Amino acid sequence: MDTPDALMIRDLTKSYPTRTGARVEILRIPALGLAPGQQVALRGESGLGKTTLLQIIAGILEPDGGSVSVGGAAVTGVSEARRDRIRAERMGYIFQTFNLLQGLTALENVDLGLAFGRGADPAAARAALERVGLAHRAHFHPRQLSTGQQQRVAIARALANRPCLILADEPTGNLDAPRSREVVQLLRESASALGAALLVASHDPAVLGAFEDVVDLAALNQAPRQAEVG
């Protein structure tokens, strides 16, 4: 039996309403797929729709049309509860600003990632922290960690559920160059170890240079620039 694609996008469109009531189409992606374990960097300048695309893949936003499936499970055309479930169980999401809960410790933040997927498991959360080299900071709060350490906690949280797809939105945007290299390397190694596909959206040449597969969103996106529809 074939393993389903980690990500499959077909005929995806997304538009936003303007103040005049007309709609601006910002994404029109005929096809994009990631095989299990494939690692791809998505190049694109700010405002091109990288975050929107990642949020559609994650089921946070709904597209106007087209289909998205992750690990063989449809993310589009299903209920919000189902999308939440797929996001929790099959995806790991890493943000530019880490988005850790400040009131929780590093361990609790990672356990939070598990809570909505495989179920809260402090031992598994600690193991995930160990994999990113932060077991000794398990009971530190995010404000007590460096930015590089915070992003590593976020990576541990994203990987804790052993997802089949990892989405990273400008993961090095808040890090200096050495930390950026560390984080990208950690991301790639961790995804490889899990056999998870990795899609990293970035405009940082240093990040993009670390990937063999780089997809240019401007080329992939067929939406007319600033075109109004409807």
Partner 1 sequence: MLFLLIRRSLRQHLVSTAVAVLLVALGLGLILSVWVVRAQAEQGFARSASGFDAVLGARGSKLQLVLNGLFHQESSPGNVTAEDFQDVKALPFVDRAIPIVVGDNFRGVRLVGVSDDWFHDLEYAPGHTYGVEPGGRPFQPGRKEAVVGSLAAHQLGWSVGTSFHPFHGLDYDPNAQHSESFTVVGVLAPTGTPADRVIWVPLEGVQRLGGHDPAAFTELSAVLIRFKPGAQAAGFMLDQRYNRQGRRLTLAWPVASILADLFSKFAWFEQALQALATMVAVVAGTSVFSSVYSSMSARRRDLAILRAVGAHRSFLIAAVLGEAACIGLLGCALGFGLYGLIATTVQELLRARMGVLFEPWAWNPSMAWGPALMLGLSLAAGAVPAWRAYRLSVADGLAPLS
Tally DSSP H helices, then E strands, for the chain.
8, 10
Structure tokens at 130: 């160990």
Q: Cα separation of 100 and 66, whole Å?
A: 32
**Contact between 115 and partner 1 per CB under 8 A:** yes
Binding footprint of partner 1, residue count (CB under 8 A): 33
Please report the sign of the dihedral spanned by the C-alpha atoms of residue 124, residue 127, residue 131, residue 134.
positive
CA distances from 19 to 22, 48, 134, 158 (A): 7, 20, 47, 36
CB of 163: closest distance to partner 1 in angstroms?
10
Backbone torsions φ then ψ of 27, nearest 5 degrees: -135, 135
Using CB under 8 A as the criterion, what x/- string covers residues 159-178 for binding partner 1?
Answer: ----------xx--------
Q: Are 173 and 204 in contact (CB under 8 A)?
A: yes
* From candidates 4, 33, 78, 85, binder to partner 1 by CB under 8 A: 85
Rg (CA), the chain: 17
Residue type, 95: F
* From candidates 63, 113, 142, 171, binder to partner 1 by CB under 8 A: 113
**Contact between 211 and partner 1 per CB under 8 A:** no
| β 197-202/165-169 pair status | parallel
**Contact between 60 and partner 1 per CB under 8 A:** yes
Q: Are 121 and 114 in contact (CB under 8 A)?
A: yes
**Contact between 157 and partner 1 per CB under 8 A:** yes
Specify the stretch interacting with partner 1 by CB under 8 A; choose among 105-113, 186-194, 205-213, 218-226.
Answer: 105-113
**Contact between 120 and partner 1 per CB under 8 A:** yes
**Contact between 55 and partner 1 per CB under 8 A:** yes
Bridge partners of 165, per DSSP, are 91, 197
* From candidates 25, 95, 165, 210, binder to partner 1 by CB under 8 A: 95
Nearer to partner 1, 28 or 87 (CB): 87
Nearer to partner 1, 33 or 174 (CB): 174
Closest CA to 29 of 219, 215, 222: 222
Nearer to partner 1, 89 or 182 (CB): 89
**Contact between 84 and partner 1 per CB under 8 A:** yes
CB of 212: closest distance to partner 1 in angstroms?
26
CB of 101: closest distance to partner 1 in angstroms?
5
Nearer to partner 1, 96 or 180 (CB): 96
